[in-house]
Amino acid sequence: MLDGGLRLEPDRQSRVEEMARRDPFEWSSAQLAAIKSGMELGPEGFPLKRLFGSDVAFRETASFTEVVCDRSDLKMSLAFGGLSTVWGAGLIPFCADDISGWPIRIEALAPYYRECLEEMDLAAIVDDLSEDYPLYTERYGTLRPSRQAAALLADLQRSREPLLRKGIRFGTSRLAVKASRPGESSGCVYCGLCLYGCPYGFIYNSADWVTASLSWPAFSYQPDMIVERVDEGAGTVTLYARRRQTGELVKYSGHSAFLACGTIPTTAVLLESIGAWDHPVEMRDSQYFLFPVIRFRKVDGVEQEQLHTLAQAFLEIHEPRISVKGIHISVHSYNDFLAEALRRQLGMLSRLAPSLPAALVRRLLIFGGYLHSDESPSILFSLRRSAAGGKQVHLQGQERNSSDRIIRRLLRKLAAESMRLKAVPLGSLVRKGLPGRGFHAGGTFPMAEHPKEFQSDLAGRPQGFSRVHAVDATVFPTIPAPSLTFTVMANARRIVAMACQA
């Protein structure tokens, strides 16, 4: 395995390890301030997450491939663990309708969803989501919802039947988090630091898999390597990479290569490998948006509650009059970023009435939504030579007005159901991310039954390759609304299984 492998700074890592040896009530204010440092709200209210206050997830990428975003906002990572170091840990699979236009069926992914869950933790419960979105395991723990989320779910449950008839299915969030199971005592301690990183390592990070695999006789991990291109010949694959720290060119040869670099780097590697400079390919994206929801009843003491701050609940909306594709919503309750965003939104009013933000935050939830890529803006991806002679990836956002119409219909729908939700969406405060901002993007070399140029076969092999397999979201034909990572992992396993059987 060749990997950028960028690590957390040693002093910061030592601080995290010290915190992990203690209970949360023993952490000092200085330790907490250091963990939370550097994470700021952007002008649109979307914070760029850091890991324990570090920018390690996004550092140094421009040294090898400059990414120029034009009306788009997507990033790549060279970190050990990649973007899983700062992800939201959502672990819901796709359903049959989500991939109705794909050349594979959901039954082809099902055994690999199960395989993934043999090696990672899942926090979930059996609820109405399970009918369309199975758990795929009997081995899962349960996270305690926040009191705000518990109140919302209770209200939704009281109106379950009419909501289901209206195409609104709901349930507790599915998260890649270690939660307590019967007979076990270890698991989430509800310290509220999820947005900054879990000192105890209870949120799944793909770096954990790499570390666990180092003992395998046939596995070798080479960090500080940046793959630039691949070449096939004489029954072998050659990878051309550069050492991250020195820039030295290194070659590796083998029987097959599996590219799991992330959508930007994998696409860049493939385009350079086939010499497709200045040739734009379409990158599909799932439109990300969020909006506040005011509950009819307040929950006191949310600022002091012991809770996790990842998504608390999921809503899956399948209503053709809103969208012909499904809409995914993650529900977030109180966190300190929410309080800060509210103060910023209120501006002068919060200074004139200092108690107002606290009063509102006790009624406030944030709904973060995703649309299917068929109804979202896309990105034109071009690999270019920079003026200095290096590589440049150009990401140009492409508008699609249907996404605005769908979001407006959704807000009207939720407002019409306010008596059942016991909440009102504040549609005037909706915020849309630029294409790529939700980090649910891919499809630049989509799988096809009979692949053409800039497409891949069912084993993730782009046209013209027989031993090179792309195994990340680069090969997804579309980007459905639910969480992307789980299906990326399952599909990667499916491709590897195909390659091994060939």
Place of tokens 């991990």: 221
Q: Compute, in degrees rounded to 10, the torsion defined by CA atoms 410, 416, 420, 423.
A: 70
Least confident of 45-49, 123-127, 165-169: 45-49
Which residues span the domain enclosing 408?
Answer: 10-210+283-442
Q: What is the pLDDT of residues 423-457, one digit of tens each?
A: 999 999 899 999 999 999 999 999 999 999 999 99
> Cα(364)–Cα(102) distance, rounded to whole angstroms?
38
Coil, strand or helix at 266: helix
pLDDT of residue 489: 98
pLDDT of residue 461: 98
Residue 487 lies in a domain: no
pLDDT beyond 60 at 352? no
pTM for this predicted structure: 0.95
Q: What is the pLDDT of residues 215-249, one digit of tens each?
A: 999 999 999 999 999 999 889 999 999 999 999 99
pLDDT beyond 90 at 353? no
Residue 461 lies in a domain: no
Contact indicator for 108, 497 with CB cutoff of 8 Å:
no
Instruction: Give the phi and the psi of residue 405 in degrees, each rounded to 5.
Output: -65, -40
Number of domains in the chain: 1
Residue 2 lies in a domain: no
pLDDT of residue 351: 63
Residue 482 lies in a domain: no
Q: What is the pLDDT of residues 449-467, one digit of tens each?
A: 999 999 999 999 999 999 9
Q: Which one, of 474, 468, 501, lies nearest residue 488 by Cα? A: 474
Tokens in use for 41?
Answer: 């709200």
pLDDT of residue 39: 79
Q: What is the pLDDT of residues 354-380, one digit of tens each?
A: 666 778 889 999 999 999 999 999 999
Residue 456 lies in a domain: no
Contact indicator for 222, 242 with CB cutoff of 8 Å:
no
Residue 240 lies in a domain: no
Residue 198 lies in a domain: yes
Residue 85 lies in a domain: yes
